[in-house]
Amino acid sequence: MKFFKYISILTLFLLNFNFANASNPEFVGVVGAAIGDIKNQNNEKLLNGSKIYYGDTIIVNKQSNAQLLFLDQTVITVGEESELTVDEFIYDPETNEGKFVSSINSGTVKVITGEISKNNPDNLEVNVTTGTIGARGTEFVVVAESNDENKIILLGPGPNNTLGMMPGTLQVSDGLNTIEIIKPGYESILTN
Amino acid sequence: MPQKIFNKIIIIFLFISTSALAEISYREILDNPTDLEINLNYAKQQQKAGNLKLTISTLERLSMLYPSNTEIKLYLLSIVVKMDSPAKLTLLVQSILSDPNTTQETKKLVVELLDKEQKLAEPSKWFAYLDLSYAHTENSNYDSVSVSKKRLVTDGIQTFSTPSTVEYDKSFKRSGALTFGKNISDTSSIFFNLGLDVNTMNKKQAGESDIVNTSVSYFKIIGNHYLTPYVYYTKPNYRQAADVNMKGLGFNNTYILNEKNNINYTAGYSNTEYHTREGFLFKYLENNDIYSFGLKFNHNISNKNKVGAKLLHNITSSLQDHYSNDTNGVEFSYAHLLPIGTLKLSTRLTEKKFRKKQDSVSTIILRKDEGILNNISLKGQLNQLIPFAKSINKKNNIFYNINFIDSHVHSNIITNKVKKHSLTFELTKRLDFNGLFK
């Protein structure tokens, strides 16, 4: 009988531990600038400085835009009528290693890559409805035209920049084929 | 309004201030993402530290938060113009010019800044680059020894005198080619090329050479025609073979029918002249003139796949008639764009008919060869093939070429029934000298 009591206490403790974890989700970044009507998946209004948590969906409504700052220095600007979800964010500031997976559900989103993708573009994954984008050391825009078409444009820096910046690359994949974009201004259209 | 003036004062102070400021961490920015003073100082510190991405993202955020602050936009613009990204620059300029907060004075400043940068960035009409290559070739039958290892000499069959004949061998090529030229207009350019190849061989029996080559070519677009006339001169210096001078001229024109199809046609003339020296007293009899013609049809199946079919005809006229011949051929090719480079497969079928019997070989048989040449090549940028090479090949200017050739010649003369194949690995580093002309 005593044995069952212990088991019950242990089970309750473990359940409590899990609940505690669920009620304290990981903070992964902040809203650096919130212009207009920005909400999360719980319909909570996001303001300048609001925290972003693992699993959050950022919804930017009409005539609004937002800049999101993540812990690894990845900066994402979300245009009007756009939606972005943070699917995965693991970051070790000591080693700058980690994994950042996000999904662009609609609209226009600009990404400036941070530390996570510095050494391996596979560690930054941006999912769109028609494929996946990997990036290293660069800035790019994703325009989700529809569920069947996404346009990805590399913004640079270019190889002849005079700022000493390292030119970056984009890897765009539709699941079957992957192409690399290295020249700023070049774009790839992913269709279903 | 007082807030606006206050903001401006802060920015002006920050721009003129050169005093050392306490290092601002990214964590502080996360805690204060909207604070104008902290963020502007942070942008400046990151610029100084070379972390331009953070400077750009900070200034973009401040532009969003303080849209009437034109100094921030101009500061951002002064960085973006140096990014070598017309796409980003266009986006930024459009956003500044279309912003109702932008004053006429600021618009004028933007135009002036762009003009100044454009003049600096304007490419020189002259260009130059040096290609340094290293190639390693393994050849299964360097001296084209017949399949039967026998040869026909005055109607009698003899065995090849080995080991003086080199069959399997490796050769190593180091070459440098300097190309310089001028963009004469938007549709025409002229190129001058000067190259030197140094070839060495594993068995060091024959074939080692230094080859000097020069060429001049001109490129002109006329409507849908992409025309390239050229002249060239090549002077190989063989260690154990007759030296030779080769010169030629020709043209290559591609006519674009539409997005999917184009026709390429070529015509060329070359002259080969052997030098007479000890051991090669009669080599001059092989001096020849060659007239070559090609007609190729290319079809782009998709952005990644291309097929082509080519007809070719060569007329070779030698000083000694029995070396003169006519060659007809057809070539089929397929190219596929892979993530690691461009894969090309081609097959060439040729028929070579000689005009006169060579009595020293056969007084009965007039030589006729039928050849099949298969070629598989994969070429591209080294970073495509080896992703981790990016850390050493930062400018992406090293190219690779892997080339396999398999050749079978069927001939009615036993000497000329030859099979051979070769495999080449080549790396080329391109050094760009365009900066010298600015």
- List chain A pLDDT tens, one digit each, 192 residues: 455 555 544 444 444 433 333 334 688 999 999 999 999 999 999 999 999 999 999 999 999 999 999 999 999 999 999 999 999 999 998 998 899 999 999 999 999 999 998 877 789 999 999 999 998 888 999 999 888 899 999 998 888 787 878 888 888 998 888 888 888 889 999 988
Domains of chain A by residue range: 27-191
Q: Where, residue-wise, is CATH 1.25.40 in chain B? A: 2-121
Which among B54, B85, B304 has CB closest to A156? B85
pLDDT at B83 over 90: no
Q: Where in chain B is the domain with CATH 2.40.160.40?
A: 126-437
Q: What is the pLDDT of residue B1?
A: 44
pTM score: 0.58
Put simply, the answer to whether A49 touches B61 (Cβ < 8 Å) is no
pLDDT on residue B339: 85
Q: Max CA-CA distance within chain B?
A: 109
Q: What are phi and psi of B115, to 5 degrees?
A: -60, -45
Q: How far apart are CA B332 and CA B314, in angstroms?
A: 17
Query: Mean pLDDT across chain B, nearest whole number?
Result: 87
Test A31 with B33 for CB contact under 8 angstroms.
yes
Q: Which fold has domain A27-191?
A: Jelly Rolls (2.60.120)
Per-residue tokens: B82: 């140096």
Looking at residue A16, its pLDDT comes to 40
CATH level 2 (architecture), domain B126-437:
Beta Barrel (2.40)
**pLDDT of amino acid B379:** 93
Mind telling me how many Å the CA of A18 is from chain B's nearest CA? Answer: 28
What pLDDT band is residue B15 in, cutting at 50, 70 and 90? low
Torsion of CA A93, A94, A99, A102, to 10 degrees: 0
When scoring B42, B47, B85, B92 by the number of chain A Cβ atoms within 10 A, the one with the most, hence best to mutate, is: B85
Q: Does the CB of A179 have a partner CB in chain B at under 8 Å?
A: yes
The residue of chain A nearest to residue B33, with distances taken between CA atoms, is A32
**Pair B251, B292: CB distance under 8 Å:** no
Report the residue of chain B nearest A122, measured CA to CA. Answer: B387
- State the smallest CA–CA distance between residue A184 and chain B in angstroms: 5
| Residue linked to tokens 């080969």 | B272
Average pLDDT on B290-314 reads 92
Is the CB of residue A32 less than 8 Å from the CB of residue A78?
A: no
**For residue range B32-61, what is the model confidence (pLDDT) as tens digits?**
999 999 999 999 999 988 888 999 999 999
Is A176 within 8 Å of chain B by CB? Answer: no
Give residue A163's pLDDT.
80
Does B6 have pLDDT greater than 80?
A: no
Instruction: Find the farthest-apart pair of alpha carbons in chain A and give their distance in angstroms, rounded.
Output: 77
Q: How far B111 CA lies from chain A's nearest CA (Å)?
A: 20
Per CATH, the number for B2-121 is: 1.25.40
What's the pLDDT at A69? 96
C-alpha to C-alpha distance for B94 and B246, rounded to whole angstroms:
57
Closest-CA distance of chain B to residue A75, Å: 7
